[in-house]
Amino acid sequence: MSDGVVSKVSVVRKALTGAQAAAEVMRQVEPDVVAAYPITPQTPIVQEFAQFVADGLVNTEMIQVESEHSALSAVVGAAMSGARAMTATSSQGLALMWEVVAIASSMRLPIVMNIVNRAISAPLNIHCDHSDAMAIRDLGWIMLFSENPQEVYHNNIVAFRIGEHPDVFLPVAVNQDGFITSHCVEAVDVFEDSFVKNFVGEYKAPYNILDFDNPISAGEWAMPSHYFEFRVDMKKAMDRSVGVIEKVFEEFYKETGVKMDFFEAYKTEDAEIVFVVMNSTAGTIRYVVDKLREKGKKVGVIKVRVYRPFVVEKFLELIPSAKFIAVMDRALSIGTTGSPLYQDITSGLFANKRIVLVNDYIYGLGGRDFTDDDAYEMYEHAEYSLKEGISGQIVYVGLNPNLLGR
């Protein structure tokens, strides 16, 4: 808890993994329907929740479907029929869901889905990177990222308020790093159930295909005369979500004393070199920033909490002194100039007529370990790049060149 705001909410400190933290919010919110399929490293979320169902702690219909495609389809069906519905997945599961991911957002269904980030096949790999989430980044989902189990917990609570707001009506994906966050136990401050229930509130569905007084059909044909407008409507809803997220974060802060923001800056006010990072690696970078500051280096870090909508103007306000940005992408875009986060930042800089040198540091693919030593090396590379005026370089951190093909 921070900034001297005294929380009105009573809190119990529990030892939870990231997966359990997500399941804990699911227990407190008590969605009407949960449909899921096992996949590593997501499985502990729905497994934990299945125990809550069996123990009678929640009044939720839970379906053990036969695939992730079926999981999100069942959730879409439930949401269309007026239910608050949830699922969770990882990697190949999200890839298999892809067409339904697009359906959920374009049907404007405020589903909340936990994504435990994992590399995409082939070769088969169950460890963390962000390739899975990045493959859905343009589909109209609000995307929140979590550094640790505590943030998984907070992000899940606000997710409902954001997605279900009538100005928005878009699904929300809450991301956490596979194994690193999902399977590691940390202390998590859990709010009392009544607070979470009240804060999230009663579910008011955007529409209900079972409403006999106002019968509608959904997902029908939209010819070239109408389709375009549906897409632009989604874009406008995403734009409106910015104001909604601001208000929800503010209310959350007032109630709990917990500050959340689109981008969370650490020592960036006077920083000339700024790291940008998502999810669990943020902790490592903050530690390294402290060490480098001790040596008098003007360095800071920005953690991306809200990745969609990506409000680059808010990002730019946080880096008034930046001369060099070291973007850290835990996903590799193949066939273009840089990876997803790099593209979001560089296009934002250009559009805002801000000239800053930027390199894209690709790290941690398929769970490749990223340590503070890697971060120091990255910093040295960034410092050298700034001195030499290098920009636009894609740098692979921790790559073993001996293993590369031709």
Residues in touch with other proteins (CB under 8 A):
37-40, 43, 46-47, 50-51, 54-55, 62, 64, 66-67, 92, 96, 121, 123-124
Pick 29 or 46: Cβ nearer other proteins? 46
* Least distance CB 42 / other proteins (angstroms): 9
* Least distance CB 89 / other proteins (angstroms): 12
Pick 121 or 371: Cβ nearer other proteins? 121
Residue pair 111/142 in contact by the 8 Å Cβ criterion: no
Spatial distance between the Cα atoms of 382 and 291, rounded to a whole number of angstroms: 16
Q: What DSSP letter does each residue of 360-384 carry, written as one string?
A: EEE--GGG----HHHHHHHHHHHHH
Q: What SS3 state is found at 284? A: helix
Spatial distance between the Cα atoms of 2 and 13, rounded to a whole number of angstroms: 16
Pick 122 or 355: Cβ nearer other proteins? 122
Pick 89 or 155: Cβ nearer other proteins? 89
* Least distance CB 78 / other proteins (angstroms): 17
* Least distance CB 184 / other proteins (angstroms): 17
Residue environment code for 213-247, b if the CB has 16+ CB neighbours within 10 A, otherwise e: eeeeeeeeeeeeeeeeeeeeebeebbebbbebbee
Pick 120 or 244: Cβ nearer other proteins? 120
Spatial distance between the Cα atoms of 271 and 227, rounded to a whole number of angstroms: 46
- Residue of 237, 61, 300, 255 lying closest to 158 (CA atoms): 255
Structure tokens at 209: 């295909």
Cα 181 to its chain centre, rounded Å, is 13
- Residue of 191, 201, 105 lying closest to 161 (CA atoms): 201
* Least distance CB 87 / other proteins (angstroms): 13
- Residue of 114, 131, 100, 119 lying closest to 42 (CA atoms): 114
Pick 129 or 272: Cβ nearer other proteins? 129
Structure tokens at 109: 């269904």
* Least distance CB 94 / other proteins (angstroms): 12
Hunting for tokens 């000339």 — which residue is that?
Answer: 272
Burial of 146 (0-12, 13-18, 19+ CB in 10 A): buried
* Least distance CB 143 / other proteins (angstroms): 24
Pick 37 or 324: Cβ nearer other proteins? 37
Pick 5 or 62: Cβ nearer other proteins? 62
* Least distance CB 70 / other proteins (angstroms): 8
Residues 6 or more apart whose Cβ sits within 8 Å of residue 144: 155, 158, 159, 172, 173, 174, 175, 305, 306, 307
Residue pair 24/196 in contact by the 8 Å Cβ criterion: no
* Least distance CB 121 / other proteins (angstroms): 6
Pick 67 or 198: Cβ nearer other proteins? 67
* Least distance CB 44 / other proteins (angstroms): 9
Spatial distance between the Cα atoms of 122 and 106, rounded to a whole number of angstroms: 29
- Residue of 101, 226, 240 lying closest to 169 (CA atoms): 240
Pick 68 or 360: Cβ nearer other proteins? 68
